[in-house]
Structure 1
Amino acid sequence: MEIRCIVIDDEPPALQVMSRYIEQIPYLKLLRTFDDAVSATNYLQSKPVDLLFLDIHMPDINGMDLARNLCSSPMLIFTTAYKQYAYDGFELAAVDYLLKPIPFARFEKAVVKAQASFLQQQFPPAIEHIFVYSSYQHIKIPLHEIIYIESLEDYLRIHLATQPPVLTLMTLKKMQEKLPQERFKRIHRSYIVAVDKIRSVVSRKVKLQNTTELPVSDSYGDFIRNWKQQ
């Protein structure tokens, strides 16, 4: 998987060094280099870029100001001869901050960090548990334990396979946002069910593995059709 990048630096020798370094990294694709920030800003407004190598001291626009005003959110690696801007780079969530002259080994270390961040964005880790607050403590609940979730006005009761139910102060809508949509489906204004715990669906009723039967309301009728097609 390629990481599309551009380099912005008003010094031609620095552009040459960065271009040469980028050519040695197989997963980096250099789209363009720019010796002025204005042209680079215009380019970024219309072209998708994953990673930006950005100098800070430039005559037209300061690199920090450019980064703050970007419409898109590419990963940032600052390249500069000035140490005093490191904290500003941290505030902008930069992947790294490279001091010139930049050794190739230090450059490579920075782009490895960028690759890890990029892969995490593309392939976020699967959610395997949630935390809820109950009985004055935060409780970790493995997703595979959840059979169904029941709304009790302002509270939820989370029914589990091998543990007693857990009661927590939360709305069903908020809980739905925390759960992986492909694994948990809302079937009623009062119920969310774990799809892998469903044994059968008959006459607008869902029968679960623990023999519980729950109604499917008219507004969630699509759930029945989609479940039968799986």
Structure 2
Amino acid sequence: MQLKCVAIDDEPLALEIIKKYVSDYPSLKMVNTFEDAISGAEYLKRNKVDVLFLDINMPDITGVDLVRSLDEKPMIIFTTAYKKFAFEGFELEAVDYLLKPINSTRFGAAVHKAIDQYQFKHADHTAEDEHIYVHSEYRVIKIGIRDIEYIESMQDYIKIHLLSAEKPVLTLMSLKSMIEKIPAGQFIRIHRSFVVSRAQIRSIYNRKVKLRNIELPVGTNYADFIKDWAK
């Protein structure tokens, strides 16, 4: 496995540092660098890339706007000298957010997160340790798939209710986006606001799904799942 990388930053020194760090990892390959966002965006629209190291605060177009313009998005690792942009980075589900000046240890942590995400996306999804990453309270949190009891939609946010924690994980993400991250065979949508782990369903009665300590309603448009679950 070797992930194709591109770096976009209007500071030449920052690009050199990122190129040096990338060269320390055999699993990464820097295929191009750009000092202006517009040229970088054009390249990304024509070429498939696995990881994008991207400065947020650039003069021609911001890194955030660049990412929003892409139809097919690589894994994003934002780099910036300004903490105030962290929320925007997490809103776009970036793998990580590196504050300049970037040290090698912090860079390595971001790289390993990207590698984990890539391996999960391309794995068979049958291993005991399968997991996802989500952003919550300016942190990247690793969540085991088997630890998820159910997921609840809260407009622009979702709550991920875990078996191992009393407090759910709140993250800025749509339920649709979350469904794309988790293995389809292990979860079922029972309502426009709820997705549940099939393994955690204890019983179904009167169009209510009984989990460990809660009952959730089955939406009218999702009632067919009851017959499938009982098979």
Q: TM-score, structure 2 length as denominator? A: 0.59
Q: Secondary structure at the match of 1:7?
A: strand
Structure 2 unpaired stretches of 5+? 127-184, 187-196, 213-219
Equivalent-residue separation in structure 2 for 1:137 and 1:59 (angstroms) = 52
Could you tell me whether the CA contact under 8 Å between 1:51 and 1:77 is conserved in 2?
yes
Equivalent-residue separation in structure 1 for 2:223 and 2:210 (angstroms) = 12
Q: Which residue identity lines up with residue 224 of structure 2 in the other structure?
A: M
Does residue 1:130 correspond to 2:198, yes or no?
A: yes
Could you tell me whether the CA contact under 8 Å between 1:5 and 1:49 is conserved in 2?
yes
Question: CA distance change for structure 1 residues 170 and 69 in 2, over 3 Å: closer, same or farther?
Answer: same
- Which of the pair has more CA radius of gyration? 1
Does residue 1:20 correspond to 2:20, yes or no?
A: yes
Q: CA shift at 1:138, angstroms?
A: 3.6
Equivalent-residue separation in structure 2 for 1:29 and 1:123 (angstroms) = 21
**Alignment RMSD:** 2.6
Equivalent-residue separation in structure 2 for 1:138 and 1:51 (angstroms) = 41
Q: TM-score, structure 1 length as denominator? A: 0.60
> What's the counterpart of residue 170 of structure 1?
224
Number of positions where the alignment pairs a residue of Structure 1 with one of Structure 2:
151
Q: Percent identity?
A: 44
Counting only pairs closer than 5 Å after superposition, residues 56-135 of structure 1 correspond to structure 2 as 56-126=56-126, 127=185, 130=198, 134-135=204-205
Q: CA shift at 1:90, angstroms?
A: 0.8
Q: Secondary structure at the match of 1:76?
A: strand
Could you tell me whether the CA contact under 8 Å between 1:134 and 1:169 is conserved in 2?
no
Deviations 1:175-219 (A, max 9, x none): 5xx9xxxxxxxxxxxxx8xxxxxxxxxxxxxxxxxxxxxxxxxxx
Q: CA shift at 1:3, angstroms?
A: 1.0
Q: Which residue identity lines up with residue 38 of structure 1 in the other structure?
A: I
Q: Which residue identity lines up with residue 14 of structure 1 in the other structure?
A: A
> What's the counterpart of residue 34 of structure 1?
34
Equivalent-residue separation in structure 2 for 1:139 and 1:58 (angstroms) = 48
